[in-house]
């Protein structure tokens, strides 16, 4: 799927990718999901998230927290309370530390809670996107608080692009475990 450039495409792509995420989750046997993620044998997987996230819960709460960032940012700025997308003291150079904070915050969160939190936050994001027009979502600098990026771009990043990331990660885990089981 091409990156969305209209509200309809944004909503459709986010919904399709979210459904695909749950299809992937449902397709992975429970015994494989219970094995901690370990990508240390793959030199191509160098980004921090490959070592940070150890299970499905970690992936789901990561998605949830990015939904929350988007929701809080849009709602605050729409109500006239100016705030950056990333909370202080984080910026786009240090957002990895924020992701680590999210990970730490949810180590006691149960998997079932993480699933419910993500479903609710996804629905909230989708409802919020519905409130905006194509012009508001995809015109650069339409809102001064989006800087040089469109609001729609932030929405794509927090939904369909992030769902793709999660799908790839879960498939990689399944593949890893299957290789180990047959070795």
DSSP conformation letters of 133-156: -HHHHHSTTSSGGGTTS-HHHHHH
pTM of the shown model: 0.96
Task: Using pLDDT thresholds of 50, 70 and 90, give the confidence band for residue 183.
Answer: low
Give Cα separations from 116 to 17, 63, 162 (angstroms).
Answer: 17, 12, 17
Per-residue pLDDT tens for 75-133?
999 999 999 999 999 999 999 999 999 999 999 999 999 999 999 999 999 999 999 99
Query: Would you call 80 helix, strand, or coil by DSSP?
Result: coil
CA–CA separation, 158 vs 68, rounded Å? 9
Max Cα distance, the chain (Å): 58
Measured CA to CA, the distance from residue 167 to residue 67 in angstroms comes to 17
3-state class (DSSP) for residue 115: helix
* Residue 173 vs residues 44, 92, 134, 141, 160: alpha-carbon distances, Å: 14, 27, 37, 39, 20
**Confidence at 182, pLDDT banded by 50, 70, 90:** low
Average pLDDT, the chain: 95
Residue 57 pLDDT exceeds 80: yes
């Amino acid at each position: 799927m091409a990156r969305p450039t209209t509200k309809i495409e944004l909503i459709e792509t986010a919904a399709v990718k979210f459904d695909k995420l749950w299809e992937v989750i449902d397709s992975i046997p429970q015994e494989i999901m219970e094995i901690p993620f370990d990508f240390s044998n793959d030199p191509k997987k160098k980004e921090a998230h490959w070592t940070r996230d150890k299970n499905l819960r970690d992936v789901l709460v990561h998605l949830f927290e990015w939904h929350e960032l988007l929701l809080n940012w849009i709602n605050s700025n729409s109500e006239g309370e100016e705030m950056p997308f990333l909370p202080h003291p984080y910026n786009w150079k240090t957002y990895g530390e924020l992701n680590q904070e999210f990970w730490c915050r949810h180590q006691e969160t149960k998997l079932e809670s993480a699933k419910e939190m993500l479903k609710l936050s996804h629905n909230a994001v989708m409802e919020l996107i519905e409130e905006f027009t194509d012009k508001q979502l995809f015109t650069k600098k339409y809102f001064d608080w989006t800087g040089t990026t469109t609001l729609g771009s932030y929405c794509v990043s927090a939904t369909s692009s992030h769902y793709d990331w999660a799908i790839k990660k879960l498939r990689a885990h399944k593949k890893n475990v299957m290789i180990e089981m047959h070795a």
